């Protein structure tokens, strides 16, 4: 989700050296990817911040990039496992919403 400027992510978002938003919010899920060199870790992880010992700081010790996310999966997204785009009307304007579902094995 993004703020009203349509550019700033509402949760923590870091891609390598670029930090889009350094503030944590109450979302409890983090998508981490791009492990630091020399670390033998999965290339992609979904982590819960309410698990014991899991913090954004501990995640960033292992991964270069992290995105804080909601832990919800839209029922509309379940109709297509990768991407579901819907168009709705809001005050006469067409708004396009995309839902991307991430998962790990």
Q: Which residues are CB-neighbours of 88 under 8 A, at least 6 positions away?
A: 94, 95, 97
If we measure between CA atoms, which residue out of 57, 17, 61 comes closest to residue 39?
61
Q: Is residue 84 over pLDDT 50?
A: no
- Structural domain spans, the chain: 1-71, 73-105
Give per-residue pLDDT as tens, 11-49: 899 999 999 989 998 888 889 999 999 989 999 988 888
- The pTM of this model reads 0.64
Band of residue 89 on the pLDDT scale cut at 50, 70, 90 = low
């Amino acid at each position: 989700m993004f703020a009203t400027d349509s550019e700033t992510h509402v949760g923590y978002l870091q891609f390598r050296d670029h930090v889009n938003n350094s503030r944590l919010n109450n979302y409890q899920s983090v998508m981490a990817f791009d492990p630091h060199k020399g670390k033998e870790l999965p290339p992609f992880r979904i982590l819960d911040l309410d698990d014991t010992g899991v913090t954004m700081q501990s995640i960033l010790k292992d991964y270069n990039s992290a995105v804080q996310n909601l832990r919800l999966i839209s029922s509309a997204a379940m109709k297509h496992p990768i991407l579901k785009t819907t168009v709705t009307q809001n005050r006469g304007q067409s708004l396009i919403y995309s839902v991307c579902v991430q998962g790990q094995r």
